[in-house]
A = this chain, B = another copy of it.
Amino acid sequence: MTRRTMVKQEPKEVRVFAPATVANVACGYDVLGFAINEPGDEVVVRHSDKPGLRITKITGDDGKLPKTVEGNTAGVAALDLLRHLGMTDRGIEMEIHKKMPFGSGLGSSAASAVAGVYAVNKLIGEPLSKLQLLPFAMTGEASADGAYHADNVGPSLLGGIVFIRSNQELDIAQLPVPKNLYAAVVHPDIEILTKVAREILPKEIPLENATQQIGNLGGLICGLIQEDYGMISRSIHDVIAEPRRQKLIPEFYKAKRSALANGALGFSISGAGPSVFALCEGKDTAKKVAAAVSKVFTDAGLGNQQHVSPINKNGVHVI
């Protein structure tokens, strides 16, 4: 057998879906994230006679995103890939369908970046693997929030629970997902900018807190690997970001108490918020927890959306 570059035949059009993600996962600030089944973003790409990548249509953004390629993360990620491959003269039209809100804490810009780069890679015959697309998706997301990290992009691309040893070295591992692990995610209708949520964090933390967080992160990994729900539950604590960021989310502690009272293994903020999430053993518990948390926000006069999902194991895919 001869060794050759496995470039597949190019399809005429590709439509993909990239899922929302929960980053940080309580004890894994900047190093952990997982994907859920929905919501997510869709991107459609097709060949064009006109050279270069162009964005021809954007829906679901309330007119907030410019149609320039540099104006949104899907375009930036795809362009970065094309540059890497020396293919910027390829004629490609891109449509972006935002199906999740901005600033929700569910990795909206990451999902767009992943969808954009994955769709274009498919359209040009899939020269790179999913894992090889990671740095381009990260560049796309970084164009929106300024930070180069993989805790949303990683799971949206690869699926599952992704652990990032180092964002700088792009050293990541997919953790095993216990079969019966479900996420209950609730997004209250307020917007928190990642920038603000980052600025609220201290530059220094007590060594004791770091040790606690290190213990819990290790505990969560052990719990996931050994399918030990007790260990998972005891590990879902965030002593670094949550105590500060909860101030940005009305009724956070009431929602947390309600989630735990209804059987959640643990509860915290999804990414930079305002979405909150609970991990649960079993779908029924996750439904009950999502409903209870939703009720807390509703009672406080806050509109909200619930999402109950197993951990999404596949990440971005063609639809």
Q: Footprint of B on A, CB under 8 Å?
A: 28-32, 163-167, 169, 171, 173, 175, 201-207, 209-219, 221-222, 225-226, 231, 234-235, 240
| Smallest beta-carbon distance A47→chain B, Å | 40
Neighbour of A173 across the interface among B165, B212, B226, CB < 8 A: B226
CA distance A173 to B215 in the complex (A): 11
| Smallest beta-carbon distance A23→chain B, Å | 13
A231 and B31 contacting across the interface, CB-CB below 8 Å = no
Protomer copies: 2
| Smallest beta-carbon distance A41→chain B, Å | 27
A207 and B240 contacting across the interface, CB-CB below 8 Å = yes
For A32, what are the chain B residues with a Cβ–Cβ distance below 8 Å? 218
For A231, what are the chain B residues with a Cβ–Cβ distance below 8 Å? 165, 171, 173
A-B contact pairs, 24 of them (CB 8 A): A28-B218, A31-B215, A32-B218, A163-B219, A165-B215, A166-B219, A167-B215, A169-B234, A171-B231, A171-B234, A173-B231, A175-B222, A201-B207, A204-B204, A204-B206, A204-B207, A205-B205, A209-B210, A213-B214, A214-B214, A217-B217, A218-B218, A218-B221, A225-B225
| Smallest beta-carbon distance A318→chain B, Å | 30
B222 and A163 contacting across the interface, CB-CB below 8 Å = yes
| Smallest beta-carbon distance A135→chain B, Å | 17
CA distance A212 to B213 in the complex (A): 12
CA distance A209 to B203 in the complex (A): 10
CA distance A248 to B203 in the complex (A): 28
B205 and A210 contacting across the interface, CB-CB below 8 Å = yes
Q: Considering only CB atoms, which chain B residue lies closest to A212 in the complex? A: B166
For A218, what are the chain B residues with a Cβ–Cβ distance below 8 Å? 28, 31-32, 163, 165, 217-218, 221
| Smallest beta-carbon distance A158→chain B, Å | 15
Q: Considering only CB atoms, which chain B residue lies closest to A201 in the complex? A: B207
| Smallest beta-carbon distance A255→chain B, Å | 25
Q: A222-B173, A234-B171 are in contact. Are A211 and B29 (CB under 8 A)?
A: yes
Neighbour of A234 across the interface among B165, B167, B201, CB < 8 A: B165
| Smallest beta-carbon distance A208→chain B, Å | 8
CA distance A173 to B225 in the complex (A): 12
CA distance A222 to B161 in the complex (A): 13
| Smallest beta-carbon distance A104→chain B, Å | 23
For A173, what are the chain B residues with a Cβ–Cβ distance below 8 Å? 219, 222, 226, 231
